Amino acid sequence: MAVKGFNPFEMAQKQFDTVADLLELDQPTRDLLRQPLREYHFNIPVRMDDGSVRVFRGFRCQHNDARGPCKGGIRFHPQETIDTVRALSMWMTWKCAVVDIPLGGGKGGVVCDPHDLSPREQERLCRGWVRAIAQDVGPLRDVPAPDVMTNPQHMLWMLDEFEAIYGAKYPGFITGKPVGMGGSLGRTEATGYGLVFTLREALREMGNQCENTVTAVQGFGNVAQYAIKLIGRFGGKVTCVSCWDQVDRTSYTYRKKTGINLDELLTITDRFGGIDKAKAEALEYERLPGDAWIEQDVDILIPAALENQINAETVKKIKPRVKIIAEGANGPTTPEADAVIKERGIFVVPDFLANAGGVTCSYFEQVQGNQNYFWPKEEVLNKLDEKMTAAFLAVSELARSKKLFMRDAAYVIAVSRVANACRDRGWV
């Protein structure tokens, strides 16, 4: 979990300010891109199964739509804040720009814990979220998607409510839907696979291959699971994963020096990525504190959970053996930690490049939905590989030619594209 007092939006703005200085952006452009264009705060009253009514707080931020409709997930999380949503919407703008898809950045959230809600209560919450924001989202304005603790079923309820309000079919309104109901094949794998495609390219540039590498992963949700799967296919080994325990309300790291068995762990994992600790120990997994993932003696670290996980304190725990950090989560590394990582020469595949596979495949789903024509899975994943590889190579080339840190190079490309779009439209 994020450290108390940490403000992700301040971190996102600090990252932007650094790149704005590099690009020598004029003040109006800085002012425009430093804040969301629009943000919405609303209450969602929900009738609970026992007949009582609870009121949940919902948000939607639209950071910038100069390059196309906003795009971004909806989080259900008990610690959701407007500053988290603001930061994530900004990062989505850069993410869409760095992989060069014609979308802008948005993000949504609800302060809730779906573990404590029945399926019917979750459905009412989803429909209530859509009713609160329906006039300001849509396939040509702002296209939501799943995020932390939301899933294809939630997206389908939201789509159904949106279509009921407007009295027509809008399969392009929302992505991450179930396959067969307007969802795209390959969408489930996309973020994790996209991360490993960029990791593969990073290793190639360093003269290595995934084969024989050892990786530690924070998180065991969708992104982590599919990243682990593809690393295994490429011949690499993952020795530990860190996940949230729903019973204890804390996180643990599960380790096997011989390498974890993904299929084995999946049989004892709940739908939120939590591992049954008793069954894990019966399978001879060592249980460590949740933050122990970062201090493992490995080649690669993949933070694939929440923001602020590699900070001024935890960065000190990274072993000398670590050569690459591939950021599956949004905003996992603070600027203070980045300074240490740069000094140590650790290669970073930054979050809004590494985890852009999800939004890229969401874009593919949106295109397929609007066309009402759907592609085979192999075609989707091949297109994803092409997009992610091209984006990585462009960032890496700029980093080498200008002697920039990879995160700074990715920001330079993304911010330049968005700033140019704003200028071309005559906004600044």
pLDDT in tens, 80-116: 999 999 999 999 999 999 999 999 999 999 999 998 9
Coil, strand or helix at 72: strand
Give pLDDT, residue 357.
96
Q: Is 14 a catalytic residue?
A: no
pLDDT tens digits, one per residue of 282-293:
999 999 999 999
pLDDT tens digits, one per residue of 143-154:
999 988 899 999
Q: Does the 34-169 domain belong in CATH 3.30.2010.20?
A: no
Helices (H), 206-283: 222-233, 262-266, 277-282
pLDDT band at 4 (very low <50, low <70, confident <90, very high): low
Distance CA 192, CA 237 (A): 15
CA distances from 291 to 80, 112, 279 (A): 21, 24, 21
Q: Cite the residue boundaries of each domain of the chain with CATH code 3.40.50.10860.
A: 34-169
pLDDT band at 2 (very low <50, low <70, confident <90, very high): very low
pLDDT band at 217 (very low <50, low <70, confident <90, very high): very high
pTM over 0.85: yes
CA distances from 412 to 15, 52, 59, 72 (A): 11, 51, 29, 21
Bridge partner list, 310: 333
Percentage of residues in the chain with pLDDT exceeding 70?
99
Q: Cite the residue boundaries of each domain of the chain with CATH code 3.40.50.720.
A: 189-354
Which one is catalytic: 71, 95, 107, 177? Answer: 107
Question: Right CATH number for 189-354 from 3.40.1130.10, 3.40.50.720, 3.40.50.1820, 3.30.499.10?
Answer: 3.40.50.720
DSSP string, 142-181: EEEEE-TT--HHHHHHHHHHHHHHHTS--TTS--SPPBTT
pLDDT tens digits, one per residue of 309-343:
999 999 999 999 999 999 999 889 998 999 999 99
